């Protein structure tokens, strides 16, 4: 039984033998066996190099894609969330930005919602079915219960900070605010971000 590398080389050798046969029949060229084997090895090396380059390019593209905010699907909303803890100010800031596929949402009579956050530990624990007896896990389980009850066809995802810029900017503003605010008009601190992301 051949392993993967041996099977790949075997296929390339078969192709090279076929090419040797065609060269003799159609071009009158006779090739030595060493040429046939070398051509098979070069073909395999070139194929592996091309495949490696393609995978590398794909990884770079995936990283770039995950660093940019994406519009939700039509008819669905996206909720970007971030939080900040300031020891110096003794405050916690929470920023939440809810948008549909065309604009900032002016009414909170919402339907399907996708939630994005740049807190990987929170997102991973929310999506996990393994729990321990910590206070953090208890909060996560409560969030999961609410999510199952109210957002059945929605999802929670981790995104990079660059794809969560609006919520991150709101968090910075929230730590400077004296009280809770619910904004229906786009605040100045995120207007330029929203405009750039919706282009």
pLDDT given at position 61: 57
Is the pLDDT confidence value at 65 over 60?
A: no
Tell me which of 33, 66, 99 is where a domain ends: 66
Are 125 and 101 part of one and the same domain? Answer: yes
Is 89 part of any domain? yes
Average pLDDT over residues 12-23: 86
Is the pLDDT confidence value at 64 over 60?
A: no
pLDDT given at position 104: 54
Are 51 and 129 part of one and the same domain? Answer: no
> Does pTM top 0.85 for this prediction?
no
- For 105-171, give the DSSP string: -------SEEEEES-HHHHHHHH-S---SSHHHHHHHHHHHHHHHH-TT-EEEE--GGGGHHHHHHH
Are 126 and 105 part of one and the same domain? Answer: yes
Q: How many domains does the chain have?
A: 2
Is the pLDDT confidence value at 16 over 70?
A: yes
Contacts of 60 (CB under 8 A, 6+ apart): none
Return the structure tokens found at 103. Answer: 């604009």
Report CA dihedral (116, 166, 162, 197) to the nearest 10 degrees.
Answer: 100
Are 84 and 52 part of one and the same domain? Answer: no
Q: Whose CA is closest to 42, among 13, 4, 22? A: 13
Are 121 and 180 part of one and the same domain? Answer: yes
Are 107 and 135 part of one and the same domain? Answer: yes
Is 71 part of any domain? no
Average pLDDT over residues 180-194: 83
Question: What rounded mean pLDDT belongs to the chain?
Answer: 81
Are 181 and 85 part of one and the same domain? Answer: yes
Average pLDDT over residues 115-130: 90
Domain that holds residue 21: 4-66
Is 122 part of any domain? yes
| Residue percentage of the chain with pLDDT more than 70 | 89
Tell how strand 113-117 and strand 91-99 pair up. unpaired
Q: Whose CA is closest to 155, among 113, 184, 187, 118? A: 113
List 158's β-bridge partners, or say none: 117
């Amino acid at each position: 039984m051949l392993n993967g590398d041996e099977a790949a080389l075997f296929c390339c050798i078969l192709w090279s033998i076929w090419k040797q046969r065609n060269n003799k029949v159609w071009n009158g060229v006779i090739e030595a066996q060493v040429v046939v084997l070398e051509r098979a090895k070069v073909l395999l090396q070139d194929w592996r190099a091309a495949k490696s380059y393609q995978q590398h390019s794909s990884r770079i593209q995936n990283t770039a894609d995950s660093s940019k905010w994406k519009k939700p699907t039509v008819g669905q909303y996206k909720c970007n969330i971030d939080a900040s803890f300031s020891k110096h100010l003794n405050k916690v800031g929470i920023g939440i930005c809810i948008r549909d596929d065309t604009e900032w949402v002016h009414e909170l009579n919402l339907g399907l919602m996708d939630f994005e956050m740049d807190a990987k530990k929170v997102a991973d624990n929310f999506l996990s079915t393994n729990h321990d007896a910590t206070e953090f896990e208890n909060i996560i389980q409560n969030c999961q219960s609410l999510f199952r009850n109210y957002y059945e066809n929605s999802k929670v995802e981790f995104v990079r900070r660059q794809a969560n810029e609006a919520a991150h900017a709101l968090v910075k503003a929230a730590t400077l605010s004296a009280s809770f605010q619910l904004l229906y008009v786009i605040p100045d601190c995120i207007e330029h971000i929203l405009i750039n992301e919706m282009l």
